[in-house]
Amino acid sequence: MTVAEAPALAVVGAGSLARTLLAGWRRSGVPFPAVTTVSLTAARAAELRADGVTALSVEEDPDAAASAAAAARVVVIAVKPWMVDDVLPAVGAALQPGTIVVSVLAGVRLARLRDLLGTVDVVRVLPNTPSHVNAGFAGIVAGGADASLVGIVRELFAELGDVMDVDEDGLDALTVLSGSGPAFAFLLAEKLAAAAEHQGFGPHDAERIARAVLVGAGALLADSRSSPAELRRRITSLRGVTHHAVEVFEDRDLGSIVIDAADAGLARARELASAPADPVGTTS
């Protein structure tokens, strides 16, 4: 993205995902003329300032989100889904013409976002944490937003990885498939490390093995035109070691475990669409 194209950016909500996106954009060198973040706490803002960002907090300035939104051309909303009623009306009231809002919130539908913001220039994007290293995957629902503004958003997320246009049902599905998906891969790495410890390796070497396997398999997948199934077949010698090990996964029906997990995540994404408040009283 060129200097002329890069928009002034505001990010409302400065948690895990917001910082992932900022890291990816910094890494790919997007020349934003200004970046302002808004967190709840002053402590978080201080952390971000140490990274060279203009960081506001609601604790220090109750109007922080409105002032950040007023000065931006792209406003990313990255608070928790159940915070939208508190956060969006003030953002919407401050928006200048020609500004687009990007919601990365799981579940919350465009109709509700438009109502709370009072604008149609809002899109939903569902990114994932590998965006940190520009190996992300994001679904985007453009809705009825201005096409040239949507183009800027699409380009911004293309800096972070692959971008797929979907409808809102597709985005709910991607929330668990590609949004949560990296967590499934990390879970596998954790379990592989635990198996290595079970077979006698110390924790350091066990994690070293698991990391090398996941990183190596990912790199091979990225570099190869072969399907995942074909890459797996090449490791699986007839009546060999892999065959015996994979049979355990098949016997326990790993396929339906993954489908059940995806369905549970999808159900939660749909629930979040209408969740009025944080059901467990925590923001983590």
Ligand X SMILES: NC(=O)C1=CN([C@@H]2O[C@H](COP(=O)(O)OP(=O)(O)OC[C@H]3O[C@@H](n4cnc5c(N)ncnc54)[C@H](OP(=O)(O)O)[C@@H]3O)[C@@H](O)[C@H]2O)C=CC1
Question: HEC profile for 145-205?
Answer: CCHHHHHHHHHHHHCCEEEEECCHHHHHHHHHHHHHHHHHHHHHHHHHHHHHHHCCCCHHH
Q: How far apart are CA 82 and CA 67, in angstroms?
A: 22
What 3-state DSSP class applies to 97? coil
Choose the one of ligand A1CAB, ligand X, none that binds residue 104, judging by a C-beta under 5 to 8 angstroms depending on kind: ligand X
CA proximity to 155, closest of 138, 143, 174: 138
Task: Report, in Å, the least distance between residue 148 CB and ligand A1CAB.
Answer: 28
- In the complex, residue closest to ligand X by CB: 15
Q: Which of 25, 44, 101, 159 binds ligand X (CB under 6 A)?
A: 44
Instruction: Identify the H or E element spanning 132.
Output: none
Considering only residues 11-40, where is the footprint of ligand A1CAB by CB under 6 A?
A: none
Angle at which helix 110-117 crosses helix 84-94, to 10 degrees, equals: 60
Q: List the single partner that 136 binds among ligand A1CAB, ligand X, none, CB under 5 to 8 Å by kind.
A: none
DSSP tag of 81: G
Looking only at residues 86 through 145 of this chain, which bind ligand A1CAB when binding is defined by CB under 6 A? 106
When binding is defined by CB under 6 A, the residue of 175, 189, 207, 209 that contacts ligand A1CAB is 175
The answer to the question of residue 179 lying near ligand A1CAB (CB under 6 A) is: yes
Determine which helix (DSSP H) or strand (DSSP E) holds 239, and give its type and residue range: none
Residues forming the site for ligand X (CB under 6 A): 12-18, 38-41, 44, 58, 65, 78-81, 83, 86-87, 104-106, 126-129, 179, 283-284
Binding site for ligand A1CAB (CB under 6 A): 106, 175, 179-180
